[in-house]
Amino acid sequence: MVFTEADIHARVVELGREISDSYPDGDLLVLGLLKGSFIFVSDLVRAVSRPLQVDFLVVSSYGMETVSSGNVRLVYDPETELEGKHILLVEDIVDTGRTLARVIDLLGERRPKSIEVCALLDKHIRTFLPHRPKFVGFDAPHEFLVGYGLDHAENFRHLPYVASLQ
């Protein structure tokens, strides 16, 4: 096991506090990237003590590549207005950051007040992200991880902890 249920709970409570302190004013919209972030988002928003809205994004890579191509399109586009709001994108795990970089470009066109990223896990590879996620749960080992929302072929998302697939 890489991160236990207790590790995750303790860190999520801290992240909630960091997020509450980082946004003293303005409208905050928490945008979870489905499906991987669904459990993290639901725990995280309950640890934040300031008003916020929650919505989700579904992103699909197109092309034939099995590796992230960075060529993304929004399959579910949030109906919530973004203009003038602080957007906090919530991602399960940042690997190359390619997907996130494209999503940030797309959403930036809607004139939010700010866009930041909160990732549960960060592999610290990040070849494509212009800057590191503002909020990170844990630095992750360079292994394939599952659980707490992360899947392998849609399995293991329900595990309350994060483990290496091996």
Contact 16, 47 (CB under 8 A): yes
What is the SS3 assignment for 98? helix
Given 27, 95, 122, 139, the catalytic residue: 95
95 is catalytic: yes
- For residue 4, the one-letter residue type is T
Binding of ligand 5GP by 93 (CB under 6 A): yes
Q: Which two tokens stand for residue 114?
A: 């700010």
Residue 111 vs 152, nearer CB to ligand 5GP: 152
Pairing relationship of beta strands 145-146 and 163-164 according to DSSP bridges? antiparallel
Residue 16 vs 149, nearer CB to ligand 5GP: 149
Binding of ligand 5GP by 69 (CB under 6 A): no
- Comparing CA positions, the residue from 141, 156, 59 lying closest to residue 98 is 59
State the Cα–Cα distance between residues 9 and 66, nearest whole angstrom. 33
Rounded to a whole number of angstroms, the minimum distance from the CB of residue 32 to Mg ion is: 10
Residue 150 binds: one of Mg ion, ligand 5GP, none (C-beta under 5 to 8 A by kind): ligand 5GP
| Beta-ladder partners of 152 | 155
DSSP state of 133: -
Q: Which two tokens stand for residue 79?
A: 């109906």
Q: Which of 3, 117, 145, 148 binds ligand 5GP (CB under 6 A)?
A: 145
Residue 95 binds: one of Mg ion, ligand 5GP, none (C-beta under 5 to 8 A by kind): ligand 5GP
Q: Which of 16, 32, 78, 97 binds ligand 5GP (CB under 6 A)?
A: 97
Binding of ligand 5GP by 120 (CB under 6 A): no
Residue 32 vs 97, nearer CB to ligand 5GP: 97
Q: Which of 39, 45, 104, 146 binds ligand 5GP (CB under 6 A)?
A: 146
- For residue 129, the one-letter residue type is L
DSSP state of 83: T
What is the SS3 assignment for 106? helix
Judged by the rule CB under 6 A, the positions of this chain that interact with ligand 5GP are: 36, 68, 91-99, 144-146, 150-152
